[in-house]
């Protein structure tokens, strides 16, 4: 990657920012009530409380967005 210098007044500071990777949290909000294959877990059943806990965990861990399935 080639960076071309800019001519700016002395009072302006230019900072080069490297490209970053954005990672989204995939929130399996529906049909994901299995902790293990074939073993349903009622605590993981899609409801407001479960979906809220997913969103709160993603926020607490610093994710900037959440991918929501649309079935």
Report domain extents, the chain.
25-67
Its pTM stands at 0.51
Q: Are 51 and 29 in contact (CB under 8 A)?
A: yes
Q: What is the pLDDT of residues 2-46, one digit of tens each?
A: 766 656 566 566 667 776 777 887 877 766 677 777 787 777 777
pLDDT of residue 12: 60
Q: At which residue do the structure tokens 């302006």 appear? A: 12
What string of DSSP letters covers 13-62?
------------EE---SS--EEETTEE-GGGS-SHHHHHHHHHHHHHTT
């Amino acid at each position: 990657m080639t960076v071309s210098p800019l001519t700016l007044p002395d009072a302006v500071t230019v900072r080069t920012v490297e490209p970053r990777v954005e990672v989204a949290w995939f929130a399996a909000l529906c049909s994901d009530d299995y902790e293990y294959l074939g073993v349903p877990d009622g605590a993981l059943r899609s409801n407001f409380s479960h979906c809220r806990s997913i969103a709160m965990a993603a926020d607490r861990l610093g994710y900037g967005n959440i991918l929501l399935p649309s079935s």
